Amino acid sequence: GEWLWIAESDDIADPTFLEEALKAIGQFPSLDIFYSDSFIISDKGIKDREKFSERKNQVFDTLKWNSTYYNKGIDEINECLKFDCTINNMSSAVLRKSLVRPLTNRMHEFYFHGDWYFLLKASLAGNIYYCNKPLNYYRVHEKSHSTQQSSLFLRSRQECFRILSLLYYNPRVSDKKELIGHFAYNCLGFGLVSDGPVKGWSILKTYLKMDRKLAIKTILKIGVFKVLRVKRPFFAKTKKKGLHN
């Protein structure tokens, strides 16, 4: 077939999920990534379920995910996907096979943020359709892998730095200064007390080995945040730009 759906074993799909995907594909033949809203459920069941759209609308201070939409992949990246993996989870997505097949060769190198990296690369090459119906149930496990263990913490930071590098060097990705600030504050920093100087220096050395030029820009931004004790929301919407309500 021409389309790929990764049905993860611990998630649940609504019986009409694929039907809605086919409708969207018929309506927008140029779409490459279909995804729907999802309910978030715990190991205990779906009694106190929450929708991903509710979380994202709150974090990004928008009503974007209340409505179904079609968007160019690069526009989706610049609006939201470069800040967080706003395509909820892989089991809520259907992807054009010819688009994603060339993008899978290095996914084994990721442990934490492979979905985000993969979906960014796919979005750079294709278009997105979002269905506002919650047609997927994403299960959150209470005992998931923790990034607090030193080696896993470092690996998570390495993967985030790779994502920043992917975005930073793409000429179609906008607001590079804002992008570095977001990653420095939310994804690449460390606690001087909670993590300690040894772990912190290990992280910074890793960035420098990966890409010295980008690392210096990022480290300087981390330093400014630490020295000035900056407190900011996860998504710091600027006055000039932001998501459309």
Q: Output the CA angle 130-156-10, nearest 5 degrees.
A: 50
Confidence band for 198, pLDDT divided at 50, 70 and 90: confident
- Over residues 115-128, the mean pLDDT reads 97
Q: Please write the tens of the pLDDT for every residue from 1-15.
A: 899 998 876 778 999
- Over residues 210-217, the mean pLDDT reads 98
Q: Please write the tens of the pLDDT for every residue from 50-63.
A: 899 999 999 999 99
Task: Please list the alpha-helical segments (H only) found in 187-236.
Answer: 196-210, 212-228
Question: Measured between alpha carbons, how far is 105 from 128 in angstroms, rounded to an integer?
Answer: 22
- Least Cα distance to 207 among 166, 175, 162 occurs for 162
Q: Which two tokens stand for residue 169?
A: 């060097």
CA distances from 196 to 170, 199, 202 (A): 34, 6, 10
**Contact between 183 and 235 (Cβ < 8 Å):** no
Q: What sign does the dihedral 32-36-41-43 (CA atoms) show? A: negative
Confidence band for 150, pLDDT divided at 50, 70 and 90: low
User: Full-prediction pTM beyond 0.85?
Assistant: yes
Question: Measured between alpha carbons, how far is 56 from 76 in angstroms, rounded to an integer?
Answer: 14
**Contact between 138 and 88 (Cβ < 8 Å):** yes
pLDDT of residue 240: 42
pLDDT of residue 233: 79
Give the single-character DSSP code of 37.
Answer: E
Confidence band for 142, pLDDT divided at 50, 70 and 90: low
